[in-house]
Amino acid sequence: MDRLSRLFQEKQQDILNIYFTAGYPNLQDTETIIHSLEKSGVDLIEIGMPYSDPMADGPTIQESGDAALANGMTLEILFDQITAVRKKSDVPLIMMGYFNQMMQYGELRFLKKCKEVGVDGLILPDLPLEVYETEYKALFEEMGLHIIFLITPQTPDARIHKIDSLSSPFIYMVSNAAITGAKVGISDTQISYFERIQKMGLQNPRLIGFGISNYKTYRTACDYSSGAIIGSAFIKALKDAGNLEERIEDFVSSVKGTALHATNTTD
Amino acid sequence: MTYEVNPNGFYGEFGGAYIPEMLFPNIEELRQKYLDFMYDSAFQKEFQQLLKDYVGRPSPLYLAKRLSKHYNTNIYLKREDLNHTGAHKINNTIGQILMAQRLGKKRIIAETGAGQHGVATATVCALMGLECIVYMGAVDIERQAPNVSRMKMLGAKVVPANSGSKTLKDATNEAIRDWINHPNDTHYIIGSVVGPHPYPDMVARFQAVISEEMKWQLNEQTGRENPDIIIACVGGGSNAAGAFYHYLKDTDVRLVAVEAAGMGIHSGESAATSVLGTKGIIHGSRTLLMQTEDGQIIEPYSLSAGLDYPGIGPLHAHLIDTKRAEAVSITDAEALEAAFFLSKQEGIIPALESAHAFAALDKIKFSNQDVIVINLSGRGDKDLGTYIKYLDQYG
Ligand SMILES: Cc1ncc(COP(=O)(O)O)c(C=O)c1O
């Protein structure tokens, strides 16, 4: 069984998925970030392929992407870094990026390379469900790569069921009508959306992302799903001064509530 | 060969809707309804009435005698510069505001480069009493200042886009993000034949009034509906799409799409997508765009804000790919020269974008028998600041 499927088989609660932009803050930080996240007890890591025009992302992720590109990050460099990571780590890894990046690399070549370096799944927010199903599904299956689709509060029920049949081994549940990093806190409307989805009897577990930033929002997400995805808040934490590994450990323990001060964090 | 969009939104291999799931409900609603709305008789009546009484259509087709004499041919100008607000952009915004009303939307967003689309959107929002937010690159806010003031006077909020090259591409990104954040009450009025399906087709249909009028106007003036050549500038390609639309199947009509070469096609400061572009995805559409090997979109350059875009609409990618249209690239200097020349020859100060179309006369072959229509997409008032800087050089 592959790393990603195994994770979801072994763990159904409190899964913590952290997103970071590869090449930020420095070109060569990928290995350090992944190892520190794993050491801190993060279950799943989403590696952002920096993109010039990330239309589903907010300013934090966009700026980190611009910085990463200015640092010289390319897909070739990233694949090499992941190869190096895999010599020491078995943590599940997902790559997140835009469809044009895969297209320009060559779709087949890109998927082969992902498999070869040890990527377990992909999130491509602008690859539509229908295009995936008709043009790429067979290829993903042949390569043994997962693809994870998003649902939002506006996604119609029938479409959610369709997404449920194509996404694996989880569904990325966008917490709100928003780009990444937009809002703080979780509202009652969001809770009722979480509950609505919970009652749909989907085959896939859900992870809730967008606007999850701290202990409190992480816990709320966990109450209504199998776990949470944090991106912008983590990238902001990487900006702070000090030792990178320590900052990462501090951030993760504050989110998980394992740090001494974490239970007092209420914002 | 067909030049019509297929049900999935493709012109040949170009087009489609490569959008994040967050945009799916809005785009899908538009896709299902746009044709029914547009060809509903009450819609058409209101649309035609506004084009006539508010925009001032039909726009004249004018035989430019001195220009014709200079080039020893027959040049007609389709005077979109005489429309209310000064460019073709209003044809589309009138159509889309009626669409937005029927969709029950209360809040309108738009992107703008030269500010003409922003002004045209702010105008129709004022007309209908709807809230209007226009995204505009910080660089463009600077170089098209009069249009920024016009939008504000019309009651719109102008929001600067500060990412990337701070121009049209980035303003479009910001507008898309706004739409993701406001999925229920907002309609996005895209200003060109770009973006995900059904936008390219919808905008082309609203702009098609240009060639619809050209047919009968030419017939009136020359005794035949078809010119030999139609020339139009291409940023995203909406004025060109409108000028070509009813002639797409008439292969005896040469279609010339003029793009901006900035400081020179290979200078590194250019927006000549047909030469520098490769197949990829920009703003939800599979088309030709300027990008690196890694698929990162390259920041374009043109002195003209309306042509400073790293892609072209999927219809134009298809027309160029199938050789139905020929592409011509014009530098800043050539466009400036053409703008000053037209001003003195015909007493018409063109928009800097439209000036590119006139400069193409020096690049293409034609005979003294030919009938050439140049789509004069807009007037030059907004560019006066730029023109003043070059008065000594070209004046
Ligand atoms: C006068 C004028 N012409 C042309 C354009 C380019 O747009 P399009 O290629 O969509 O016609 C613009 C855009 O701002 C414009 O203002």
Spell out where chain A has E strands: 15-21, 44-48, 93-96, 121-123, 146-147, 150-151, 171-174, 206-209, 227-230
Residues 175-234 of A with CB under 8 A from B: 177-179, 182
Q: Which of B202, B222, B238 is the last residue of a domain?
A: B202
Torsions phi, psi of B193, nearest 5?
A: -85, 50
Q: Residue A225: which residues within 8 A CB-CB, separation 6 or more?
A: A173, A194, A197, A198, A205, A206, A207, A208
pLDDT at B178 over 90: yes
Query: How much is the pLDDT for B165?
Result: 87
Q: How confident is the model at residue B271 (pLDDT cuts 50, 70, 90)?
A: very high
**Same domain (yes/no): B97, B79:** no
- Residue B14 forms part of a structural domain: no
CB A150 within 8 A of CB A176: no
Q: A44-48 and A15-21: which strand pairing?
A: parallel
Average pLDDT over residues A239-255: 93
For residue A183, the model assigns a pLDDT of: 65
The length of chain A is: 267
Q: State the complex-level ipTM.
A: 0.95
Q: Residue A178 — pLDDT band, cuts 50, 70, 90?
A: confident
What pLDDT does A264 receive? 45
Last residue of a domain, one of B143, B172, B202: B202
Single residue among B162, B179, B202 that ends a domain in this structure: B202
Inter-CA distances, B16 with A148, A184, B111, B201, B344, Å: 21, 34, 20, 11, 44
CA–CA separation, A199 and B76 (whole Å) = 65
Same domain, B37 and B71: no
Assigned domain for B376 exists: yes
- B26 strand-pairing partners: none
Q: What are phi and psi of A188, to 5 degrees?
A: -65, -35
d(Cα B314, Cα B282) in Å, to the nearest integer? 10
Chain B contact for A166 (CB, 8 A cutoff): no
Contacts B294 to A, Cβ<8 Å: 74-75, 101, 104-105
Distance from CA of B216 to the nearest CA of A (A): 42
Q: Which domain holds residue B378?
A: 57-86+207-394
Residue of B nearest to A123 (CA): B20
How many whole angstroms separate alpha carbon B135 and alpha carbon B143? 15
Distances (CA, A) of A178 to A238, B136, B183, B185: 23, 21, 9, 14
Is beta strand B157-161 parallel, antiparallel or unpaired with respect to B254-262?
A: unpaired
What DSSP element (H or E) covers A58?
none
- d(C-alpha B326, C-alpha B330), whole Å: 13
For tokens 């905008």, what's the residue?
B203
Whether residues B167 and B69 fall in one domain: no
Binned at pLDDT 50, 70 and 90, residue A267 comes out as very low
Q: Do B93 and B66 fall into the same domain?
A: no
| pLDDT tops 60 at residue A182 | yes
Provide the total of helices (H) and of strands (E) in chain A, helices listed first: 13, 9
Confidence of residue A176 (pLDDT cuts 50, 70, 90): confident
Number of structural domains found in chain A: 1
Task: Determine, yes or no, domain membership for B129.
Answer: yes
B219 and B334 housed in the same domain: yes
Pairing mode, strands B61-63 and B131-137: unpaired
CA distance linking residue B27 with residue B34, whole number of Å: 10
- Can you read off the two tokens belonging to residue B330? 């014009």
Q: Taking each helix axis from N to C terminus, what angle separates A215-224 and A188-198, rounded to the nearest 10 degrees?
A: 30
Q: Does residue A262 lie within any of the structural domains?
A: no
The answer to whether residue B299 is domain-embedded is: yes
Q: List, edge to edge, every strand of the sheet that includes A146-147.
A: A146-147, A121-123, A93-96, A44-48, A15-21, A227-230, A206-209, A171-174, A150-151
The confidence score (pLDDT) of residue A240 equals 82
Of the two residues B194 and B2, the one the predictor is more confident about is B194
Residue B4 inside a domain? The answer is: no
Please report which confidence band the pLDDT of residue A129 belongs to, taking 50, 70 and 90 as the band edges: very high
The minimum-distance atom of ligand 1 relative to the CA of B112 is 14
Give the residue numbers spanning the domain of A116. 12-256
Mean pLDDT, chain B, whole residue set? 97
Q: In this structure, is residue A6 part of a structural domain? A: no
Give the whole-angstrom CA distance, residue A54 versus residue A68.
13
Work out the widest C-alpha separation in chain A, in whole angstroms: 51
What pLDDT, in 10s, does the model give residues A62-112? 999 999 999 999 999 999 999 999 999 999 999 999 999 999 999 999 999
Q: Which of B190, B166, B167, B192 is nearest to B178 (CA)?
A: B190
Phi, psi for residue B201 in degrees, rounded to 5: -75, -40
Inside any domain, residue A150: yes
List the single range of A161-170, A231-240, B227-236 with lowest mean pLDDT. A231-240
Same-domain status, B358 and B319:
yes
What's the pLDDT at A231? 96
- What region does B336 belong to: left with phi over 0, alpha with psi -120 to 50, or beta? alpha
pLDDT grade, residue A184 (50/70/90)? Answer: low
Instruction: Please name the residue that has the structure tokens 């080039």.
Output: B71
The answer to whether position A3 is within a domain reads no
Say whether A128 and B19 touch across the interface (CB within 8 A): yes
Q: Residue A266: pLDDT above 60?
A: no
For a ligand 1 pocket test, name from B307, B386, B387 the mutation site with the most ligand atoms within 8 angstroms of its C-beta: B307
- DSSP strand pairing (B285-289 vs B278-282): antiparallel
Average pLDDT over residues B157-177: 94
Q: What DSSP character marks residue B51?
A: I
pTM: 0.96
**Can you tell me the distance from the alpha carbon of B171 to that of B168, in angstroms, rounded to the nearest whole number?**
5
Residue A71 lies in a domain: yes
Q: Could you give the residue numbers annotated as active site of A?
A: 46, 57
Ligand 1 close to Cβ of residue B273 (< 6 A): no
CB-CB under 8 Å, B280 with A126: no
Is B240 in the same domain as B155? no
> Is the CB–ligand 1 distance for residue B200 below 6 Å?
no
Q: Whose CA is nearest to atom 6 of ligand 1?
A: B235
Residue A263 belongs to some domain of the structure: no
Residue A266 lies in a domain: no
What local confidence, expressed as pLDDT, does residue A177 receive? 78
Question: Which residues lie below 8 Å from residue A28, measured CB to CB, with a gap of 6+?
Answer: A81
Does some domain include residue B9? no
Residue of B nearest to A104 (CA): B295
Dihedral sign, CA of B288, B293, B295, B299?
Answer: negative
d(CA B250, CA B239): 18
The rounded Å distance from CA A18 to ligand 1 centre is 43
Evaluated on CA atoms B354, B359, B363, B365, the torsion sign reads positive
- Assign 3-state DSSP to chain A and report helix, strand, coil percentages, each to 5: 50, 15, 35
Residue nearest to atom 12 of ligand 1 (CA): B306
CA atoms within a 13 Å half-sphere pointing along the CA-CB vector of B314:
33
CATH number at residue B376: 3.40.50.1100
Q: CB–CB of B188/B179 below 8 Å?
A: yes
- Please report the atom of ligand 1 found closest to the CA of residue B117: 14
Q: Taking CB atoms and an 8 Å limit, are B17 and A128 in contact across chains?
A: yes
Cβ <8 Å between A155 and B177: no
pLDDT at A263: 47
Q: How many structural domains comprise chain B?
A: 2
Sign of the C-alpha dihedral, residues B138, B140, B146, B150? Answer: negative
Residue A174: beta bridge partners? A209
Q: Are B349 and B274 in contact (CB under 8 A)?
A: no
Distance of CA A89 to the CA centre of its chain: 18
The set of residues, in sequence order, having a beta carbon less than 8 Å from that of B190 and lying 6+ positions away, is: B110, B111, B172, B175, B199, B203
- What is the DSSP secondary-structure string of B309-330? -SB--HHHHHHHHTTSEEEEEE
Q: Does A128 touch chain B (CB under 8 A)?
A: yes
* B20 Cα to chain A: minimum distance (Å): 4
pLDDT-above-70 percentage for chain A: 96
- If asked whether residues B110 and B221 sit together in one domain, one would say no
Flag whether residue B159 sits within 8 Å of chain A, measured between CB atoms: no
Do B213 and B185 reside in the same domain of the chain? no
Q: Domain holding A135: CATH number?
A: 3.20.20.70
Q: Judge if B364 and B215 occupy the same domain.
A: yes
A13-47 per-position pLDDT tens digit: 999 999 999 999 999 999 999 999 999 999 999 99
Is residue B8 included in any domain, yes or no?
Answer: no
CB-based contact B295 A149, cutoff 8 Å? no
Q: Is B119 in the pocket of ligand 1 (CB under 6 A)?
A: no
Alpha helices in B109-266 (DSSP H): 116-128, 138-143, 145-153, 168-181, 199-207, 209-222, 238-244
Does B227 share its domain with B362?
A: yes
Contact A179 B177 (CB under 8 A): yes
Has residue B13 been placed in a domain?
no
B327 and B303 in one domain?
yes
Mean pLDDT of chain A: 94
Q: Is residue A7 part of a domain?
A: no
pLDDT digits (tens, 9 = 90+) for B48-71: 999 999 999 999 999 999 999 999
